[in-house]
Amino acid sequence: MNIMNLLTALPGAVAQGLIWGIMAIGVYITYKLLDLADLTVDGTMCTGGAVCIMMMLKGYPVWLALTVAFLVGMLAGFVTGFLHTFMGIPAILAGILSQLGLYSVNLRIMDNKANQAINVDKFHLLVSLRYIKNVPVYQNTILIVAVIIVVLIAILYWFFGTEIGSAIRATGSNPNMSRAQGINTDVTKILGLMISNGIVAFASGLYAQYQGFADINAGRGAIVIGLAAVIISQVLFGKIQSNFAFKLAFVACGGVIYYLVLQVVLWLGLNANDLKLVSAAIVAVFLAIPHLNAKRKGGAGNA
């Protein structure tokens, strides 16, 4: 096992972790702010990339492709929200239905092909695996994604401080009290789901550029990675008293930590086919840590 191989792979792991950190911020909005289990993201994590790559292949600029990817992701979130609020379907089932339907939609978007590639030499990509090393600083993928995260956090920090943003947060904290205060919780849930899936689809557009192709299976297991980043950020940074902006930044850091751990595990000799199993194990471990700590402290107190 050569330590140089690990060091060489780390910049790519950081870049990939930052992109998935954006996706994790979207998951955080539903999982922590709205207190909803939304599985739509496994579909929108493919949809955004499919829309972005297909638009760029047809000659549209990258900024427009990413914008449309974000809007299409919001539309997917709206469908889930509509199924949940107006049709009375439990959130987790509404997400599964949307995710299932998106599989066919994503195939249609990609001209009924399971994979659509884009050439970094022929198209102007915002991020790419080839933009990690030996490129100008302003073109470096890690720097660009980091700047995007800072801008995204600033926008979300402002938005969730507005009246409608506060209503969304209140809905997740106490829906009954929110309704008593005159908040239409159905509308706020739909808005939260739209924002969340829009961010996930945007991250998908970046990720498809980064790897050079959109794939129908790109979103499979995405919710596990998103939850891993959220849980890791809570376990490692949860005791730090911080405002909303820092909590979002910690979630993005959770994505980076997750991919660094995966890279180290691969370096130690793990078969790449076992990555899904390791991903599930990482989430399970970080989910269990707070519970085990509470039990240990409770046991010590009783003693």
CATH of residue 94: 1.10.3470
d(CA 82, CA 193): 10
Residue-number span of the structural domain to which 244 is assigned: 3-302
Residue 44 has a pLDDT of 94
- Apex 13 CA angle, 218 and 35, nearest 5: 60
> Length of the chain in residues, anyone?
303
Average pLDDT, the chain: 88
For the stretch 236-284, pLDDT in tens is 887 776 788 999 999 999 999 988 888 887 777 777 777 778 777 877 8
Q: Are 231 and 283 in contact (CB under 8 A)?
A: yes
Task: Give CA–CA dist 225/185, Å, rounded.
Answer: 28
User: Does the structure show a pLDDT above 70 at 53?
Assistant: yes
In the numeric block, the tokens 């991903």 are attached to 279
Rounded to whole angstroms, how far apart are CA atoms 143 and 122?
22
List the structure tokens of 179: 């309704």
Residue 231: left (phi > 0), alpha (psi -120 to 50), or beta?
alpha
User: What whole-number percentage of the chain has pLDDT above 90?
Assistant: 56
Residue 117: strand pairing partners: 213
Q: For 64-96, how does the pLDDT look when each residue is reduced to its tens digit (9 = 90+)?
A: 999 999 999 999 999 999 999 999 999 999 999
How many independent structural domains does the chain possess? 1
Is residue 252 within 8 Å of residue 25, measured between CB atoms? yes
Q: What is the mean pLDDT of residues 96-107?
A: 94
Confidence category of residue 139, pLDDT binned at 50, 70, 90: confident
Q: Which residues are bridge partners to 115 per DSSP?
A: 215
